[in-house]
Amino acid sequence: MTLYTHILTQILISVVSVAGVFVLTGMTGMFSLGQAAFMAIGAYTSGILVTKLSAPIYLAWPAGVVLAVAVGFIVGLPTVRLRRDYISLVTLGFGEAITALLNRTTALTGGASGLTGIPKVTTLWSALVSAVLVITLISLFKNSKYGRQCIAVRSDELAAKSMGINVPKVKMIAFLISVAVTAYGGCLYAFYTAYVDPSLFGWKKSAEWVIMVFFGGVNSLTGSVLSTFVLSGLPEVLRFLQNYRAIIYAVLVLLIINFKPAGLLGEWELTPRNLRRIIARGRRVQQPKGVN
Amino acid sequence: MQILQYVINGIALGSVYALISTGFSLIFNVLKFSNFSHGALMTFSAFTGYFVAAANGWGLVPTILAAAATGSLVALAGEFVAFRRILIRNTSPIYFFVSSITLGTLFEGIVVLQVGANFYNYPRFFGKPLKLAGLVISQSDIIIFCISAFVLVVLALVIQKTRLGRALRSVSFDRDTASLMGIDVTRSIQFAFIISGALAGLAGVFLGINYTLYPTLGSLVVKGFIASVIGGLGSLPGAVIGAMLLGIVETTLISTIGSGYAPVFTFLIMLVFLLVRPRGIAGSNIQEKA
């Protein structure tokens, strides 16, 4: 039972981060390959504040998120005005820089051997509450003015611009929201595993998140959450496939991109209306033929 | 004298970066997307070169040839598996991006599966470093520089002077019009992938010689990316110039502030550079086109 609790908690923490990536990649069409580095900033800042300065958690976590957002603003500033390739290239370089920095500042971060002694605060329930909260906020954002602008920017940047959308601003908002959410995921993670080291936050992690978002459906938050459960739950259940994990991911995603480019769920969302529709359809199927 | 030493070491390092950034820029030029599988392809070919040639006691040249051939073939296969259908369907360039990341994960996954997390070393191909008027130049640096320069010059000639190169340039300018003019677009794109793959293989071997062979060697591709951003995305001469500059800056940084902080400073330099001159040195298209 504890094993399942452990797996479920980790998946829920991933859900938080993937939801952040969804805002950036799924909605706005930008790719960050340094997203895990923002998670690292959240995790390390809050961890260091609590372990070294014995700051209370309700101050340390917001501090981690705020610092990540501030750094994200600096990284985003030159890139949001340029074509989307730049943000992925720049964030990739950013991820390498952060890893180097964490490895180097041994006195503060513990270097390559990692930061230890973080109190274990996150439980299954707090992870669940966080995930639900983040998903709710992001679905609200998706349906807000800015969310719709994000989708417009993704579909056609030039057309969005000519409709009067401030493209750099929208891109920056999406980027900062995703940074904040991912950094929060980092806090959850650090205070769950009680230990973080720089190798956890490489570009592979960021790439994995992008893949999860695409696997689930480009414009479907439901799909992203679902695919996080499937893709990060599957290797845990099938332990013997651990070594093949990366390859299975890759093959699955290549199949999806080649044959169902919109992803598992495409644009479909689990809204109350869609839910009612499914239930209604289910009833219709259950009714015996010839009654109507 | 010290500065001259930095410049010499920097150019040697930069010539490897130039191979990476040129291979990357070539694909960017033709298909207008950042090929993130390039790094993993370098690792894959470098390891194949090691196991096919170097581990059997063959010399440098067979190793390079084996790695370059592997790079070409794998890049060609990758184009077919990951990019062909997106190209035909003409869907959003976003998919190229995801495809290339996925392909990179696949290549790296295969390497990890085969070799584990072990480190490998290429055999010593070179003798002692040369000493010349107070400067120390290692033989490997000289040979790596000469081979890289030769390959890049040949590539420039092929792209500028041959029919194949002209076709490639027109395809990168406008795919649809090129196709209307009777150019086989698919074949041109395959040609670009073959060259890019060969460059990746070559760069992989050189990186393996300079450092060691390990499964995440491909993450050094980020140097190539930074070089192409500095040089101007998609511009081949820009990629080479950017790579040389990056090499010189990096060797200087490593000897002054240490190798640990060097990536941080190169990143900051790139960020400032993007703020000041986003087009890069050679200038390229920086806005999204319709």
Banded pLDDT at B289 (limits 50, 70, 90): low
Banded pLDDT at B285 (limits 50, 70, 90): low
- Mutation choice for B interface testing from A108, A153, A248, A254 by most B CBs within 10 A: A254
Per-residue pLDDT, A286: 63
- Mutation choice for B interface testing from A258, A259, A264 by most B CBs within 10 A: A258
Q: Does residue B51 sit in helix, strand or coil?
A: helix
Q: Chain B residue with minimal CA distance to A80?
A: B287
Burial class (CB in 10 A: 0-12, 13-18, 19+), B164: middle
Residues 6 or more apart whose CB falls under 8 angstroms from that of B172 comprise B29, B30
A271-292 pLDDT per residue, tens:
777 778 888 887 776 655 554 4
Q: Is 50 exceeded by the pLDDT of residue A163?
A: yes
Q: Tokens 């998903």 belong to which residue?
A: A135
Per-residue pLDDT, A291: 47
- Please tell me the least confidently modeled range out of A56-70, B29-43, B98-112, B270-284: B270-284
Rounded (10°) CA dihedral A107, A113, A114, A118: -90
Rounded (10°) CA dihedral A127, A131, A132, A133: 100
The rounded distance, in Å, linking the Cα atoms of B213 and A141 is 46
Residues above pLDDT 90, as percent of chain A: 34
Q: Is 50 exceeded by the pLDDT of residue B162?
A: yes
The amino acid at residue B287 is: Q
A235-272 pLDDT per residue, tens:
776 667 777 777 887 888 888 888 877 777 777 777 77
- Please tell me the least confidently modeled range out of A200-204, B34-38, B155-159: A200-204
The rounded distance, in Å, linking the Cα atoms of A20 and A69 is 13
Mean pLDDT of A81-110: 87
A15-52 pLDDT per residue, tens:
999 999 999 988 888 888 889 999 999 999 999 999 88
Residue B231 sits at the chain A interface (C-beta within 8 Å): no
Residues in chain A, total: 292
Q: Which domain does B125 fall in, by range? A: 2-218
Higher per-residue pLDDT: B243 or A105: B243
* Residues 18-57 of chain B whose Cβ lies under 8 A from any Cβ of chain A: 28, 33-34, 36
How far, in Å, are A193, B2, B227 from residue B255 at the CA level? 38, 10, 20
The rounded distance, in Å, linking the Cα atoms of A223 and A265 is 6
Has residue B204 been placed in a domain?
A: yes
**Direct distance between the N- and C-terminal alpha carbons of chain B, in angstroms, rounded to an integer:** 51
Cβ atoms within 10 Å, residue B167: 19
Q: Does residue A196 sit in helix, strand or coil?
A: strand
**Is residue A204 within 8 Å of A249, Cβ to Cβ?**
no
**Is residue B107 within 8 Å of B44, Cβ to Cβ?**
yes
Structure tokens at B283: 């200038």
Minimal CA separation from A110 to chain B, in Å: 14
How far, in Å, are A39, A183, A210, B211 from residue A71 at the CA level? 12, 11, 21, 31
Residues 6 or more apart whose CB falls under 8 angstroms from that of A227 comprise A212, A213, A215, A216, A217, A263, A264
Residues 6 or more apart whose CB falls under 8 angstroms from that of A234 comprise A241, A248
Residue among A103, A203, A211 whose CB faces B102 most closely:
A211
Residue B286 sits at the chain A interface (C-beta within 8 Å): yes
Nearest-Å Rg of the Cα atoms of chain A is 20
Q: Which residues of B touch A211 (CB under 8 A)?
A: 98, 101-102, 105
Q: Chain B residue with minimal CA distance to A204?
A: B105
What phi, psi does B147 have (nearest 5°)? -65, -45
- Mutation choice for A interface testing from B264, B272, B289 by most A CBs within 10 A: B264
The rounded distance, in Å, linking the Cα atoms of A135 and A128 is 11
Per-residue pLDDT, A289: 52
Find, among A62, A59, A4, the residue nearest to A237 by Cα.
Answer: A4
Has residue B231 been placed in a domain?
A: no
Q: Chain A residue with minimal CA distance to B33?
A: A85
Per-residue pLDDT, B231: 87
Q: Is 80 exceeded by the pLDDT of residue A1?
A: no
Residue B158 sits at the chain A interface (C-beta within 8 Å): no
Number of domains in chain B: 1
Q: Chain B residue with minimal CA distance to A241?
A: B113
Minimal CA separation from B105 to chain A, in Å: 6
Per-residue pLDDT, B290: 42
The rounded distance, in Å, linking the Cα atoms of B173 and B8 is 36
Residues 6 or more apart whose CB falls under 8 angstroms from that of A274 comprise A268
Q: Tokens 């010189």 belong to which residue?
A: B248
The amino acid at residue A124 is: L
Residue among B34, B99, B219 whose CB faces A89 most closely:
B34
Q: Is 70 exceeded by the pLDDT of residue B287?
A: no
Q: Where are the alpha helices (DSSP H) in A105-155?
A: 106-109, 124-142, 145-155
- Please tell me the least confidently modeled range out of A208-222, A253-267, B179-193: A253-267
B213 beta partners: B120
Domain boundaries, chain A: 2-202
- Please tell me the least confidently modeled range out of A261-265, B95-99, B225-229, B236-240: A261-265
- Mutation choice for A interface testing from B36, B102, B250 by most A CBs within 10 A: B102
Banded pLDDT at A94 (limits 50, 70, 90): very high
- ipTM score here? 0.84
Has residue B223 been placed in a domain?
A: no
The rounded distance, in Å, linking the Cα atoms of A130 and A116 is 24
Residue among B81, B98, B229 whose CB faces A210 most closely:
B98
The rounded distance, in Å, linking the Cα atoms of A78 and A105 is 27
Q: Which residues of B touch A75 (CB under 8 A)?
A: 271
**Direct distance between the N- and C-terminal alpha carbons of chain A, in angstroms, rounded to an integer:** 48
Q: Chain B residue with minimal CA distance to A262?
A: B95
The rounded distance, in Å, linking the Cα atoms of A27 and A218 is 7
DSSP at B211: S
Mean pLDDT of A129-139: 93
Cβ atoms within 10 Å, residue A159: 12
